[in-house]
Structure 1
């Protein structure tokens, strides 16, 4: 945009005569240009038609194309012009003068003033006195306007303005309309604070600029010679400041972020966002850590018709605290290759690596540290294929284990490679369904740490079942066959270099569903009673001498208690002769089917001892397992509770329990709490919340308390915690958050995050908002815009 003509307002260029201009009409449409006599005759005809149709039924409502949010450019030359005023004079198709409450309307543009002079051959409007323009919801007011109406070119002196896209407001010495999408505002102010009556009103934040360029096509603003004032105090004087008018992406420097860290000191980041293309972008994030040095980080995202992905990386040439180079990277890529082979191939990559074992402790927010298992970083590539009932994949998986000398862990096995094929059909003859799966995996790890040899394992697993089901019952017999072969790279304790195992399994699953309508607390509900019985039999096969590469105990819950194998993985298949009994009762809303409450019970009855165990485990000899009890109650739309208890009838006490409750009475008001305990291992309490302080302290205010606390009752200390305050200032939001993340058994990372969000302009400070979104269940952004502004909300 050229801003050299700052002193002499430009006159609009000449334009071809506008095709139609009419006096005020109450109709939304108008005929093509006509002589005055034709107007008169047309009016008589319209009146006659209206009289003739008085006795006809009213027409059905239908959508009107005139209510389109944007007027297509090819239709604009065909739009009529309407004028209205107390006095209208002039010469047809030459000039028109409207005085007294003057109004000129064309499409989505409305000009109002005390006096409007319209030169039709030039399509030029001159307005004086109390001038107001409404252009598709954007409002401009001032004393004097000169404009080419169709091209929307011209100038406005001493204007005030308000934009619909972000409800921004401001004043200036002059606005130069370059076209219907672009404008230059001289000596401008800009804010999203709602103006209040009176001469002494000052917005809480205000951007002043020598020149303000508005580009509604790119949906961006550019302030030259800008200063951002917060409560009258200059906080950000910058030569050039670019900001979005909407949520559309735009290249440029993002506001700097600032945080305090107990390990790294002051953290200052100046990110740069590069909008490369509609389907590609990048963010470069150089960071200065006062105790460590300079860290270079970046993220690249891409989205193509057949593939997409994200690349994250960070690099520190020299960490002053560790006296070495530090780096991390994360790559996530997925791709579909439809033409590669029949059925198509898909490729996915998930690569994560860091420079050293201490990285997870020093940089908890690194792009590669993205999971709860921060010390186990997986790098994996999967090539998958599928066609009808057939599927296959090949995978390579390698782990990076970040060791802590105070708490070492045994590294998991790499799979280099794993190849698997599967056939599955649910529509076999006689109502049968089944599958066959074959797998070959080479397991690799450091034998000095795992204390067992590496191996190549191959297995074939086949299953067939015949389900019968009806609205009130189901019955499913199932048979399974599992054959496994091992080739070891070192002899086992018995001297063998290979091993084979074949295990069959048979199971029966049956259940009933009863329903009845009952009255509960004055309301009609549908109650169900759902008993279930599950029997499984697997004969004993000697397996305890085999190494364990991927097997572990199933979690004991309502989902896994009705399964044949007590172990997950393929290195252990438990010998089983047991019956599982369960009972569930639900209370449902008969009108919507919504679940009001659910109560459950399940227990296993064992007929023979289980001899197959994990390494170091003992045989299971109890005839009755622990009892699972569960309940979930949705008391109302605002209250919800859920609990599960694993109860040991022999010791008459619970072995494990979880309980959770959530209270969500309205916007920005939510409290969720959870209690988890496992006897002898852990006991934790977790609470998260977002709540207005005025509800707690009384009075009026805009302060909100936010946070999440995870407390270990066993260790009597906080594990992780986030506590903060938010202030809603209508046109701005302030956040202060204290974050504490446990980093091993000996210490924790602590950060203080500050952020001020100027709505419609930028966020300054650290990314406190991202921390709150990631950690507080059902957190809501204060005054988040949920609907797109429409020009008809400001229709004149």
Structure 2
């Protein structure tokens, strides 16, 4: 057999035609001769080259002489193409569901339609039925997923979930999408999923959108609603629903040969069962004139921000998104001019770092912003909040996120960046940046409490890069000079001398709220043996938030992985999961695949594979 080390044998070979034959007592493996740790055996195997389908009767997988999986009948494609049939079963265990076994069935309905039916047997909860239907057409595609647990043995109730995702291209610049999700109860994901990203979900969108784009013009229409999965320990405040939201934008560079023109408009009808409701219209045109040279740039920009509110009179006795009761104006508007001046220079010199000749840059930047003050205290807050203070926000026109508050400003931001660049390759080896904002006049606009009165903002600093081929590091620091306190910082390092050799260390600090250590990595400990793991510990809470540990053994034609995962859900419940996988090179895998969990938890994780990739059976 002429592919990798794949080979087989049979007691009897019978030709039934030019493209069809049968084999009695057939065996197949991708292991090397004399090192056959596993075999696929069948009492009878029929190969049909005309239909490119193989059939095995009374077939089983044998590993180290031990039969692992038996089936009285199996059909499989001879080429890498889709075919209906049972997929490899998986098994594992979690703390919430107990021991689990799934046996997916794949249905190849048509070249552009398929479905997967997945029964899931859980020792603690019973039998769950799951399914996925996918469709693809030249102008649209999508998938429908559904799960149904008719009688949960723990909760004594029927539980279900579904999701529909659809994307459509209508032509002439118009596209659309639909995303609908629903679960039967608040604890569905926390009880029935083994992934942190899924168990932590609290807001399920139900939205549809119609979009348009052509040249400098774009527009969108969206209806957005939610299902809220309440947390009994930390109740969730439902966000406003947008029913509907309309957006339009115009972006044109080099207008008149010297200016960039932009305009954005938005209309939103904010709906909420327990808060003030209303409509908001915003319009924000702007014109900038960039002057760019090799040594620097200067970009003045002038814009206008207009906002109009029309509130539901019957809801004006209710609070807004912040929980604040205000003396609302049922109809209110706001018009604010916005002027900014962004400038920067770039200097270079030859330098030496870690014994290597590099180009060092020095890049000072000055950003000035002026926005006059306007009282906005009688306007509601639907979607605004304090923007996260970071290097991106410090050069923005508004210290608030959302459209309900426009901060007054008479301020300048100074920043300095230095980079070390390899002259031959252009690879950036190290970057360091510092920045701070200076207020010529303290801002007066606030959300709920008083606006800040400090003359200078927090000081931001960051440094990071690929120090050596094996070592990389990064650090960020936010310091409040007005209180002489460090607000937050994080430090991280990665050692990655070769593929499969990896160690990550991160420390995160946020004053009064967060002090965490995060260790992760993978490393060979002996020939063919590799360990991997993660430990996330809260120093402030004095408890482990998440642990993951695994071991892998890699042989020439197979690999086995065992991974244990323990984490906390949004309700502070601890969930345990165990993944066990046997990978047979060129055939399939048995058990529950832990690779997605490893990639999500270990930054830079690389998968080890046995010698044989999936082989093309047409070569045999």
The normalised TM-score by structure 2 is 0.93
Partner of 1:664: 496
Identify which of 567, 583, 586 aligns with 2:419.
586
- For residues 273 and 363 of structure 1, the distance between their equivalents in structure 2, rounded to whole angstroms, comes to 22
* Greater Cα shift, 214-223 or 657-666: 214-223
- For residues 605 and 349 of structure 1, the distance between their equivalents in structure 2, rounded to whole angstroms, comes to 45
Aligned residue runs from structure 1 range 434-513, under 5 A: 434-447=261-274, 452-489=275-312, 490-491=315-316, 493-494=326-327, 496-513=329-346
Gaps of 5+ in 2: 318-325
Identify which of 359, 376, 383 aligns with 2:203.
376
- Say whether the 8 Å CA contact 1:349–1:380 is kept in structure 2: yes
Identify which of 71, 74, 96 aligns with 1:263.
96
- For residues 781 and 270 of structure 1, the distance between their equivalents in structure 2, rounded to whole angstroms, comes to 25
3-state SS, counterpart of residue 771 of structure 1: helix
Partner of 1:717: 543
- For residues 535 and 179 of structure 1, the distance between their equivalents in structure 2, rounded to whole angstroms, comes to 83
Cα distance, 1:771 vs structure 2: 2.5
Q: Higher RCO, 1 or 2 (CA under 8 Å, sep at least 6)?
A: 2
Cα distance, 1:243 vs structure 2: 4.9
- For residues 353 and 510 of structure 1, the distance between their equivalents in structure 2, rounded to whole angstroms, comes to 49
- For residues 412 and 540 of structure 1, the distance between their equivalents in structure 2, rounded to whole angstroms, comes to 28
The normalised TM-score by structure 1 is 0.73
- Say whether the 8 Å CA contact 1:244–1:760 is kept in structure 2: no
- For residues 231 and 266 of structure 1, the distance between their equivalents in structure 2, rounded to whole angstroms, comes to 25
3-state SS, counterpart of residue 426 of structure 1: strand
- Say whether the 8 Å CA contact 2:557–2:612 is kept in structure 1: no
Cα distance, 1:712 vs structure 2: 1.8
Aligned residue runs from structure 1 range 111-260, under 5 A: 162-164=1-3, 167-176=5-14, 183-196=21-34, 203-214=36-47, 221-243=54-76, 248-260=81-93
- Say whether the 8 Å CA contact 1:221–1:242 is kept in structure 2: yes
Q: Alpha carbons of 1:502 and 1:775: their partners in 2 closer, same or farther (altered >3 Å)?
A: same
Asked if residue 539 in structure 1 is aligned to residue 366 in structure 2, the reply is: no
Q: Deviations over 1:393-415 (max 9, x none)?
A: 10011111111221102111110
Aligned residue runs from structure 1 range 224-623, under 5 A: 224-243=57-76, 248-338=81-171, 343-365=172-194, 374-447=201-274, 452-489=275-312, 490-491=315-316, 493-494=326-327, 496-615=329-448, 617-623=449-455
Partner of 1:41: none
- Say whether the 8 Å CA contact 1:537–1:576 is kept in structure 2: yes
Q: How many equivalent pairs are there?
A: 609
- For residues 604 and 179 of structure 1, the distance between their equivalents in structure 2, rounded to whole angstroms, comes to 82
3-state SS, counterpart of residue 394 of structure 2: coil
Q: Alpha carbons of 1:715 and 1:214: their partners in 2 closer, same or farther (altered >3 Å)?
A: farther
- For residues 614 and 147 of structure 2, the distance between their equivalents in structure 1, rounded to whole angstroms, comes to 37
Cα distance, 1:244 vs structure 2: 5.9
Q: Alpha carbons of 1:768 and 1:352: their partners in 2 closer, same or farther (altered >3 Å)?
A: same
Cα distance, 1:676 vs structure 2: 1.7
- Say whether the 8 Å CA contact 2:329–2:378 is kept in structure 1: no
Cα distance, 1:535 vs structure 2: 0.5
Cα distance, 1:706 vs structure 2: 1.9
Q: Which has the higher strand share?
A: 2
- For residues 527 and 512 of structure 1, the distance between their equivalents in structure 2, rounded to whole angstroms, comes to 14
Partner of 2:574: 748
- Say whether the 8 Å CA contact 1:243–1:762 is kept in structure 2: no
Identify which of 731, 737, 743 aligns with 2:557.
731
Cα distance, 1:314 vs structure 2: 0.6
Mark the structure with the bigger radius of gyration: 1
Q: Deviations over 1:502-554 (max 9, x none)?
A: 12111100000011122334322111000000010111111133221111222
Q: Deviations over 1:343-367 (max 9, x none)?
A: 331011122221111123212358x
3-state SS, counterpart of residue 597 of structure 2: helix
Cα distance, 1:590 vs structure 2: 0.5
- For residues 730 and 444 of structure 1, the distance between their equivalents in structure 2, rounded to whole angstroms, comes to 60
- For residues 567 and 456 of structure 1, the distance between their equivalents in structure 2, rounded to whole angstroms, comes to 19
